[in-house]
Chain A
């Protein structure tokens, strides 16, 4: 049973470009969570999705960030018009219920 798969592992974008981060949850998991780790900080919750629905987006920045988890395919975290401050490690996690979540390897976004 493959774990949570995130791609790409590393992503470099110029300021103003769009970044798309993908997350394939563990088989059978319908709950997906995105966390962000800024340099020298702990992971911070961004958004929680179940299939086709956003359940909790209390940690998402109000502008430029969006997330989706379609009926088919991976969850996508999209960042439009990236700025240097978006440089961070973005972690996805999935769970079968609301209990224990399993984390992926993360995507390290660098904005140049």
Chain B
């Protein structure tokens, strides 16, 4: 089975400062990796995903995540955060070749951007 650890439950950061949200996973087989974001009063939205190829993946709003197989990590970063980035962020893994019924989520990190 797979598991996901998000060590930081809350991350406060000042506007325009950089941020890193940590995600480590455990799996004995190859996995796909995902970051989901949940804005206040909204559903989960896929932010970015790693399936194969380049280990660095980017989202349209400036976030990026790097798959590090040796460290089993998929940390999410943004060089300069905006107030609108305030949300809860969930890291998830899925075994290669399986569907959405095999998503394993972390406990989430609440990012609060301070003006």
Chain B residues lying within 8 Å of A41, measured Cβ to Cβ, are 107
Chain B residues lying within 8 Å of A97, measured Cβ to Cβ, are 99
**Which stretch (B14-22, B40-48, B61-69, B76-84) binds chain A?**
B40-48
The residues of B with any CB-CB pair to A shorter than 8 Å are: 4, 6, 36, 41-46, 49, 90, 92, 98-108
Q: Which of A46-71 contact B (CB under 8 A)?
A: 48, 55-56
Chain A contact residues (Cβ within 8 angstroms of B): what range?
20 to 34
The answer to whether A42 touches B105, judged by C-beta atoms less than 8 angstroms apart, is yes
CB pairs A–B below 8 angstroms (27 shown) = A3-B43, A4-B43, A35-B103, A35-B105, A40-B107, A41-B107, A42-B4, A42-B90, A42-B104, A42-B106, A42-B107, A44-B105, A45-B101, A48-B100, A56-B101, A91-B43, A93-B44, A93-B100, A95-B99, A95-B100, A99-B99, A100-B46, A100-B49, A100-B100, A101-B100, A104-B43, A105-B42
